[in-house]
Amino acid sequence: MFFSSAKLTEPVESEVFMRPIVDLAADMGLDPAALEPYGNDKAKIPLSAFPETAEKAKLIVVTAITPTPAGEGKSTTAVGLVQGLAKIGKKPVLTIRQPALGPVFGHKGGGTGGGKSTVQPAVDINLHFTGDFHAIESAHNLVAAMVDNAAYRNVIDGFDATGITWRRVTDAEDRALRTVMTGAGGRLNGPVREAGFDINAASEIMAICALTDSYEDLRERIGDIVVGWKKDRKTPVTAREIGGIGSIMALLRDAIKPNLVQTAEGQPTIVHMGPFGNIAHGCSSILADKLAVNCGDYVVTEAGFGADLGFEKFMDIKVRQGGPEPSAAVVVTTIRGLKWHGGVAMKDMATPDPEAVRRGTGNLKNALNIVGMYGLPAVVAINRFPDDSPEEVAIAREAAIAAGAVGVAEAKGFAEGGDGMTKLAAAVVEAADRPSDVKLLYNDDDSFFDKVEHMAKSLYLAGDVKWGPMTRTTARRFADNGWNFPVCIAKTHLSISADPKLKGAPSGHTLPIRELRILAGARLIVTLAGDIITLPGLPSNPNAWDIDLNSDGEITGILST
C-alpha cells in the first residue's frame, strides 16, 4: 500500500538516522570548522565558507498541480526525491523553505515532509529553528517603529503619518490585527491612524533575505525599502532616509546564513527563508541554491503551491534576480487531486472515478504547459494513495505524456523513503540530462501592464484583466520612479484563476487587479488579484489544539513530523 503525506492518511512509522552535522558538511566540500553549530543536528553556514566549483550541480525544481484539500505531498516528494537520488548513487542536496509558525499552528501544519521522507530535526525546524524568522520579524517591526517616530517628530520635510504605508508583521494567524488603529490615548502616542499587520512570511524583509546574495546587496536593498509617501503622493520615502540601516543589518546578520540539516536518510538539506507562495514569491533563498549547486551533482528545490504561482515566481523573480537556472522540473500530482479538479467531493475521494480523473487532467496539462513555457523538461510524479485504482493511474500517466511530460513515475516516499523514489529519481536524471533552453515569461523592460496581461492570459487562461480603482495610476507612478520590476501576482492558490471556486483549468475568466504594492528593496511589484488576505486567521479546528509537550520534554502533534 502506498500513502500520501496528506492529513487524511494514517501516520507511517519511520526510523530517523541522524548523522553528525560535521559529516554532512564534509560530504558537501565544506570546512566543518567553519560551521556555526546549533546543537548537534543543525548549523549555520557563513557566507565566507561557501565553496566555488567549476562543475555546478543540476538544479531540479519541484512544483505541482493546483493545490486541493486532499494534499499533493509536494514537500514529501522533494525530500523523497533527494533520498531516491542517493539510492541510485548520486550526490544530491535539498533546498527548501523554512516553515512559518502561522501555518504550523493554523491549518496547514508543518513543512518538513512526512512519513519516511522528512527533514530532521523536524520539530525544531517547524518551531523556532535557528531564529531566522524572529530576526526578520524584529527587523521589520523596528523599521515600523522608526518610521512612526520619524513622522511623529517631523524629521522629513513633507512626510507625516498620513503617508505611512509600512505595516507591521506577526508570526501568528491573528485576524484581529489585519486592521488596527494606532496612536490612540493622547498626543504623546502619535497621531491616530489606521494601520495593520501582515503575516511574517509576507514581509518585504523576508523577500529581501530570500533574494539577496551578499551583505552589501542586503544593505542596499534594505535602504531601498519604500515606507511611505510625501504629501504630494508622488515622492517615496525610503528606509535609507529614515535611518537605522545598520541596526537592521545587525538583526539580520545571522538570518541570511543558510541552515544545514538533513533528510531522514542522511542527505544534506539547506532550509532557508520562507516567503509564502501566494502573497509572496514562495521559494527558498538564492543563497541556499548558490551554495547547494557547488556541493553536489543534483540539487532539488521546491517552489510554493502550484505551477501558476510558486514555479512562475521561481523563474520570473528568483532566477531573474540571480538564482541558478534549473535543468528540469517535477510536477507533483495525485489521483485525488485530479478527482477534485474533476468535480468529485471530498467525501467521495475513496470511490474510483476514472472519468473524474480524466476531467481533472486539464489542470495537470496546464501545469505542464506552464513549465514548458520556460523551456524546461518536466517529469510528473504521481504521489500514491492506497485507494488509487490502476485505471485511474493509467489515465493520469497517459494525460501527462500527451501533455509533454518527458517521464512519469509513482512517488512512494511517504511509505518507503528513498527505496520508493528510485524510479522517479532515474526519470529526473534522464530529464535533467536533456538539453534545455531556459527562458523567462517577459522581458525586464516590458511595461507593467503588458507583463500582467501576458501572465493573465498565458498562465491563468484569463480572457481579460479588470483594473481596479487607482491601480493604473499607481502603476504609472511606480514607472515614473523607475521601478520596472518583476510582477509578483498575489492570488488564491486554490485555482489558476482568482476565484477559488473555479476548479480544473477554467478559461475566459477575468483577472481582477485590486491593489498594487511596491517592494523596491525586494525589487518586486506585488499585484493583488482578487480578495487576498495578507494575514490569515486561525481555522475552526487549528493545529494548535493538537500540539503538546509531554512529561519527557518531547513536543508532539506537529503535523508532518
Give me the chain's average pLDDT, please. Answer: 94
pLDDT at residue 435 in the model: 86
Domain identity same for 268 and 404: yes
Whole-number Å distance between alpha carbons of 190 and 94? 48
What CATH number does the domain containing 523 carry? 3.10.410.10
- Per DSSP, 218 falls in state H
3-state SS, residue 144: helix
Domain boundary (432, 466, 483) is at 432
Could you tell me the maximum CA-CA distance found in the chain, to the nearest angstrom? 71
Split at pLDDT 50, 70, 90, the class of 560 is: very low
Whole-number Å distance between alpha carbons of 134 and 106? 18
Q: Is residue 84 part of a domain?
A: yes
Name 83's Cβ contacts closer than 8 Å, sequence gap at least 6: 117, 263, 264, 265, 267, 413, 417, 418, 421
* pLDDT at 66 > cutoff 50: yes
pLDDT at residue 177 in the model: 96
* pLDDT at 267 > cutoff 90: yes
Q: Report whether 499 contacts 66 (CB < 8 A).
A: no
Q: Is residue 535 part of a domain?
A: no
**Other Cβ atoms closer than 10 A to 539:** 12
Domain identity same for 261 and 198: no
Strand order in the sheet with 487-490: 464-467, 510-519, 524-529, 487-490
Nearest partner of 395 among 366, 356, 422, 427, judged by Cα? 356
Ordered DSSP codes for 12-81: ---------HHHHHHHTT--GGG-EESTTS-EE--GGG----SSPPEEEEEEESS--TT---HHHHHHHH
Domain boundary (252, 272, 296) is at 252
Ordered DSSP codes for 324-360: PPPSEEEEEE-HHHHHHHTT--GGGTTS--HHHHHHH
Whole-number Å distance between alpha carbons of 321 and 319? 5
* pLDDT at 2 > cutoff 80: no
Q: Report whether 59 contacts 82 (CB < 8 A).
A: no
- Tell me the per-residue pLDDT of 318-369, one tens digit each, with 9 for 90 and over: 999 999 999 999 999 999 999 999 999 999 999 999 999 999 999 999 999 9
Domain identity same for 273 and 339: yes
Domain identity same for 124 and 176: no
Domain identity same for 186 and 315: no
Q: What is the mean pLDDT of residues 84-98?
A: 97
Q: What is the mean pLDDT of residues 536-559?
A: 90
Domain identity same for 324 and 414: yes
* pLDDT at 11 > cutoff 80: no
- Per DSSP, 460 falls in state S
Q: What is the mean pLDDT of residues 109-125?
A: 92
Split at pLDDT 50, 70, 90, the class of 6 is: very low
Q: What is the mean pLDDT of residues 410-439?
A: 96
Domain identity same for 270 and 394: yes
Domain identity same for 138 and 66: no
* pLDDT at 26 > cutoff 60: yes
Whole-number Å distance between alpha carbons of 19 and 341? 41
What CATH number does the domain containing 273 carry? 3.40.50.300
Domain identity same for 214 and 354: no
**Other Cβ atoms closer than 10 A to 138:** 17
* Cα Rg of the chain (Å, integer): 23
Q: Report whether 42 contacts 124 (CB < 8 A).
A: yes
Q: What is the mean pLDDT of residues 43-51?
A: 97
* pLDDT at 474 > cutoff 50: yes
Q: Report whether 295 contacts 30 (CB < 8 A).
A: yes
* pLDDT at 405 > cutoff 50: yes
Q: Report whether 100 contacts 276 (CB < 8 A).
A: yes
- Tell me the per-residue pLDDT of 296-306, one tens digit each, with 9 for 90 and over: 999 999 998 99
Domain identity same for 211 and 243: yes
Q: What's this model's pTM, rounded to 2 decimal places?
A: 0.94
Whole-number Å distance between alpha carbons of 376 and 492? 25
- Tell me the per-residue pLDDT of 179-220, one tens digit each, with 9 for 90 and over: 999 999 888 888 889 999 999 999 999 999 999 999 999 999
Nearest partner of 498 among 196, 66, 146, 16, judged by Cα? 66
Q: Report whether 102 contacts 536 (CB < 8 A).
A: yes
What CATH number does the domain containing 180 carry? 3.30.1510.10
Q: Is residue 2 part of a domain?
A: no
* pLDDT at 72 > cutoff 50: yes
Highest mean pLDDT of the ranges 1-10, 384-393, 399-408, 547-556: 399-408
In which region does residue 344 sit, left (phi positive, over 0), alpha (psi from -120 to 50) or beta (all else)? beta
* pLDDT at 422 > cutoff 70: yes
Q: Is residue 323 part of a domain?
A: yes
pLDDT at residue 14 in the model: 53
* pLDDT at 108 > cutoff 80: no
Domain boundary (252, 279, 301) is at 252
pLDDT at residue 559 in the model: 61
pLDDT at residue 179 in the model: 96
Q: Is residue 114 part of a domain?
A: yes
Q: Is residue 555 part of a domain?
A: no
Q: What's the grid cell of residue 284?
A: 527558498
For 29-33, 191-195, 267-271, 312-316, which range has the lowest pLDDT when averaged over its residues? 191-195
Q: Is residue 104 part of a domain?
A: yes
Q: Report whether 271 contacts 119 (CB < 8 A).
A: yes
Domain identity same for 237 and 273: no
Q: Is residue 401 part of a domain?
A: yes
Q: Report whether 278 contacts 489 (CB < 8 A).
A: no
Q: What is the mean pLDDT of residues 222-240?
A: 97
Distance of CA 240 to the CA centre of its chain: 28
Domain identity same for 263 and 309: yes
Q: How many domains does the chain have?
A: 3
Range of the domain at 474: 448-529
Which residues, listed in sequence order, are joined to residue 244 by a DSSP beta bridge? none
* 3-state secondary structure labels for all residues of 362-396: HHHHHHHHHHHHCCCCEEEEEECCCCCCHHHHHHH
